[in-house]
A and B are shown apart, each in its own frame.
Chain A
Amino acid sequence: MHETADMVLTVDLSEGTVHRSPLDQSIRDSLLGGAGAALHLLWETMPVGSDPLSAESAVVLGVGALVGTPYPGAAKVSAAFRSPVLASVDGMHWIGCSVAGGRDLGLALRGAGIGYLVIKGRSSQPVYLSIEDGEARLESAADLWGRADAEETAQVLKARYGGAAGVITIGPAGENGVRFAMAFVDQAHSLGRGGFGAVLGSKGLKAVVVRGTKGISAADPERLLAVASRVRDRVAAWPGLEKWSKLGMGAGWSIFQYTQYPGKWPRSVWDRLYGEHVRAESVDQLIACAACAMGCRIKWRIKGGRFDGEVGHGSPFGKSATSGQLLDVADYRDMLHLVTVCNRLGMCFYTFTRMVDWLTNLYRDGRLTRGDTGGVELRRTFDCYEELAWQTAKREGVGRLIAEGWVGVQRELGLDPQEYWYGGICKGTDFIYDARAAKVHPLMLMFVTNPRPHHGGGHSLSTGPGKTVGELIAQMREWGAPVERLFREAPVPEIDVGRCTKYVEDAMMVRNMLGVCSMYSAFGMERMGDLAEAYAALTGRDVGVDGLMEAGERAFNLKKLLNAREGFNRRFDAVPRLWLRPMVSPEGVEVCTDYFRNRAFGEKEFEEALTAYYQERGWDPDTGLPKREKFSQLGLTRYL
């Protein structure tokens, strides 16, 4: 076992103190690492019902168990936190676990001998946390706070601590408590949809920078390298690799133009304005996470137009194509610029652009007036959108309103966010997919069932479009799921989406505990057996696929429990009303159907799917909450 994996560094920003303690071994054995152990530490640290932006709220970062090895995509760090997003008008806040990759952060934390970072309290002066080989210090961030955006802060700190230092940074949106502010890892990876950046900002913490020189030893390194090679061989044999290596995630347009279609423009127009050719001309270079054999991020360089030559990093194509159509922006280069602006300001592009779409349309229709916007005109022009981004991040003008998020606007002006026409909203959080376009498969239902309404890296073969029932069954069988109960092959193939969602969520949690990317499993290059073998080779603990899946279930139940303790129940797992209405598009009418598009999915079908989900989880279908037996079965009674 590697000696450094379990060290917990606790930083109290109010006291200015730093404390190291080893993680309880029973927690490591039952929750594996990463997201699992981070949720446990959050449970121990954060008082029930605390304001997410107060000193008593806490965040916990957890490095995935396989991070620091050459296992493909083993780079993920999870962040458990209470979201400042208003989940309801009476001020509920969900608790979730977000995950980010990165080239350097995970390796640097490993190198510093830190497995978990607990951050609580609030600093009276802006600071950043530096960790060097386990020595942690709070340094003044006076030169960065209010001056440097998320990107500039990362550049300054990498220049100060070396290019291989891992960094987490926030921009002005995080400093100013924008409820959907995010943090950024190593410049190209976003962390914490749902306001993680605002939580760091509320603590006066501008950044975390880490470097360290320690190494990790595997119990059986040869076996670990052999599993890693096996997965890499499947990547090398993947027919999509050639296109992928030119475009990164941008290679997915042929699927994306169906699954993320907002239904405003004819698809041919969308393809002409945002299709593959615009991706090919902007990609400058691929950017990968540590140990990733693919690399899905890019550095882009805008060719021509008003922003000619502007460079940005991340994964811009999908989100800019969808929001470009929503906002009627015909020039994709303008939207690439808006992605850069949101990244630098440190806020969620999805939430921002959709709220702007919502509000500017209401303004156009006369349902929102200058009296509501503090005199600001909400025009549907690109220049106005960009201006709104700055106002939001700085909480100036109408930005004060937008910064409060969907339910904040509802509280202030009485407008119902459920009326917004694309995606869907649950627990105050907008979804990045709309099930009417993507159809109802487990990834969609997870937006509703996950306490944090996000897919959370739930990608797998069973959540991609266009798979045969045989492929889905094979993957679920490998996870040890009771496939007889989950699928029917004839006369027409059917999947029980509610029951399947449980297994997809548990498998997602396994990957977030081990800190591996979901991309490999989404393309069928990785099986759960590979993960079990890699974990055994690293730690010497051979728990098998069953052991991993049980740990995944345990951690997911713990996440649920954290939310149940706040008062969340089935009432909050509400399918967006939007999904029950048809989407009328130039291509025809899109409605929710089952995965195979054989039958419509209406209110009754969704309710049945949710009930089946709770039953498969062993939870009470009336309350949507875990039952006592479940806790004993999973060894979670200490949390009762």
Chain B
Amino acid sequence: MAQVLAVDPRRCTGCRTCELVCSHAKTGQFRPTQSAIRRVTVLDDLGFQPWCCLQCTDAECVQVCPVQAIRRTPEGWLEVDPDSCIGCSLCSLVCPFGNIRVIEGYATKCDLCGGDPLCVRWCPRNALAVDEAANLAEAKAAASAAAYRKLIADQRGGCGVKRVQ
């Protein structure tokens, strides 16, 4: 099953540690503007949103690439082969989320660091996690179901069953 990088904006402090370590791994320099993961600032109420490639199943970037430089690994995520990439920026133009960019001639995107992402290891707030999307959804469903049950209980004094007086 395909793995994704899950981001939790409620935990993110905006510290950009993820950008610093990612850019170092990708470019050899601490260069946050060239990181594959980005901490986006939401300006209207000052919130932070880590933002990163979603390893789409039916990926626009893969389809548009004229030289097939973006390939799926056996583990299921997408990697750019820099030797094939011609730096045409088409992938960058079609990605619906702004998650792939051409930096110094090559397309750069999150490749999950080969399965053990640095940003996940370095994020001081556990705002990032890597897992199969299905597991993440399962966990989220369990959490929201529990929250829903609590809400109902608070409102009705029972497990969703309205008491007849």
Contacts and interface: CB of A to CB of B under 8 A. Distances in A.
Interface of A: 68-70, 103-104, 107, 111, 155, 158-159, 163-164, 187-188, 212-218, 221, 225, 232, 235, 245, 285-295, 299, 311, 313
A216 B47 CA distance: 27
Nearest to A68: B30
A302 B20 CA distance: 33
Interface of B: 10, 13-17, 20-21, 23-24, 27-34, 38-48, 122, 124-125
B15 A288 contact: yes
Contact of B41 (A164, A245, A313): A164
A155 B43 contact: yes
Most B-side CB within 10 Å, residue of A214, A218, A286: A286
B10 A291 contact: no
Most A-side CB within 10 Å, residue of B20, B21, B23, B27: B20
A432 to B, nearest CB: 24
Contact of A311 (B30, B32, B43, B45): B45
B30 A70 contact: yes
B125 A245 contact: yes
Given A70-B21, A107-B16, A164-B41, A299 B46 contact: yes
- Ranked nearest first, the 7 interchain pairs of A and B with the lowest CB-CB distance are A215-B31, A215-B29, A163-B41, A288-B13, A295-B13, A293-B124, A288-B15
A295 B126 CA distance: 13
By secondary structure, the B interface counts as mixed
By secondary structure, the A interface counts as loop
A187 B46 contact: yes
Contact of B28 (A163, A217, A232, A287): A217
A285 B10 contact: yes
Nearest to B49: A163
Most B-side CB within 10 Å, residue of A216, A291, A293: A291
Given A159-B43, A188-B46, A218-B30, 7 more contacts: A111-B31, A285-B47, A287-B13, A288-B14, A292-B124, A295-B13, A311-B45
Given A103-B14, A187-B46, A291 B20 contact: yes
A217 B17 CA distance: 16
A292 B32 CA distance: 15
A154 B13 CA distance: 18
B43 A163 contact: yes
A70 B122 contact: yes
Nearest to A110: B30
A28 B75 CA distance: 49
Most A-side CB within 10 Å, residue of B24, B32, B122: B32
A411 to B, nearest CB: 40
A294 B16 CA distance: 12
A164 B30 contact: no
